[in-house]
Amino acid sequence: MAFAEHVERVAGEVVGEFPADGAIYAVTFRIDSVDQDPRLPYVAVGYTTEADAAKSAQTASDAWEARWSYAYFPETGLEGVRVVGRDPEGAEAHRREAESRGLWYEDDEEPDERDELLVEWFYEVCVGAARRLHGSGRIVEVLGRPVPVILYDMFDPDAMFELTSDANPAELVAEFMTEDPGVDLSGASSELSEA
């Protein structure tokens, strides 16, 4: 089985393990790697609830931060419910595919740009898994309605908005995207007023 297929399958299983809680408002994908080694990636699949956001609002600087910043996610959103990628089947599939793509390197080798390419590939795998959760109807099946999948890498916070935007239908992440530093919302409103 290809690595991406493995991640998609297990992510679907993990979402199926979520509690039947109508207050879950986001699925979370914390993208990480063992000892920050891009050859050993994993994604912690979890969730966050309205109660979590309400609790975070007591200390967060604003409503967006309380609801969408991973710094305020509960353990189920930060550590996830289960980790995918470093499980035996996932680790084996990842290494096999990384080797076939020419991306694998040993500890005594210079990675060149292979480390960056491994990270980009894993981002693609995670975005694909999130899209599959939407496309297959798995999220709606388990949670009763569509909710966004928030993808984040604590070691590359700037990637969060692009990854999340790429992984979700636009209407599901409209509120989340309001804090994207790469989007100039002030220009959009002035252009609309001029039209």
* pLDDT tens digits, one per residue of 131-161: 999 999 999 999 999 999 999 999 999 899 9
pLDDT band for 183, please (50, 70, 90 cuts): low
pLDDT band for 20, please (50, 70, 90 cuts): confident
Determine the pLDDT at residue 115. 96
Question: What's at 191, amino acid-wise?
Answer: E
Q: At 60, list the tokens.
A: 């967060």
pLDDT band for 187, please (50, 70, 90 cuts): very low
Q: Count the neighbouring beta carbons within 10 Å of the beta carbon of residue 31.
A: 24
Q: What is the pLDDT of residues 59-102, one digit of tens each?
A: 999 999 999 999 999 999 999 999 999 999 999 999 999 999 99
Smallest CA-to-CA distance from 92 within 80, 79, 104 is with 104
Q: What is each CA distance from 111 to 40, 91, 104, 108, 166, in whole angstroms?
A: 14, 19, 8, 9, 28
Indicate the pairing of strand 24-33 with strand 41-49: antiparallel
